[in-house]
Amino acid sequence: MSGKGETRASDVLQRMRDDILNCQLQPGLKLRFELLRERYGVSFSTLREALARLSAERLVLSEGQRGFLVAPLSVAELEDLTASRVLVEREGLRRSMERGDDSWEAGILASFHRMDRLQSRLGAGCETDAEWAALHGKFHLALVSACASPTLLEMRETLFLRAYRYRRLASDLRPGWQPAETGHRAIMEQALDRSPEALDLLERHFSEATAHLLDHAGDLFATDAAAHA
């Protein structure tokens, strides 16, 4: 594939990923090639390549000869995602606290400061703001960025994106719902102190956020995805 073709395929992949994460392409939606070609303005081969990548990320499910659909959401998957994220994020942070240098610490401080400043300006509803969501992701990445394991980082990024869909759908369909504040500042401070307490705070951060999400919007994910898997 030419450089221009690679750029185009990468662009379509990112656009489709963003549309799935932001629920513009709804969970469970049949991804028909004719509609996708009209929406994204690319060839069938480019679409198939993007769908294959998204399938590997578990954001899209392949139904064999029946085509593709946006991965459905379920309570069971969210709970499984949370448990898996706890394992991966704890290990990433543990390694980063062992290996992290001044640059690692500066990255955490800077990313928290930007996220916190924007959250203060936005107030309620920051979860649905694209800029805040990006800064939130950068803060969590900064925490584990010194783990020295590309494989671990790739795994956590996939899990992070899959979990984001649940928060975004809840924010879109429950306008009054707000994510629980589960201690970004405390996690940062303990991580910079290289305290084992940071690991427990990080686990609590994910577990409490998931429990809060299920309490306020769990009925949105009640349909079991097993029939589609």
pLDDT tens sequence across 130-144:
888 899 999 999 999
Mean pLDDT computed over 216-221: 83
**pLDDT score recorded for residue 227:** 42
Mean pLDDT computed over 54-74: 89
pLDDT band at 226, cuts 50/70/90? very low
- Domains of the chain in start order, with CATH, are 3-70 (1.10.10.10), 75-219 (1.20.120.530)
Mean model confidence pLDDT for the chain: 87
pLDDT exceeds 80 at position 191: yes
Least confident of 1-5, 99-103, 126-130, 198-202: 1-5
Alpha carbon of residue 206 to chain centroid: 12
Residue 119 to residue 134: CA distance in whole angstroms: 12
Under a CB-based contact definition with an 8 Å cutoff, are residues 172 and 138 in contact? no
pLDDT tens sequence across 107-162:
999 999 999 999 888 876 677 678 888 999 999 999 999 999 999 999 999 999 99
CA distances from 123 to 27, 64, 108, 130, 172 (A): 28, 45, 22, 14, 16
Residue 85 to residue 190: CA distance in whole angstroms: 19
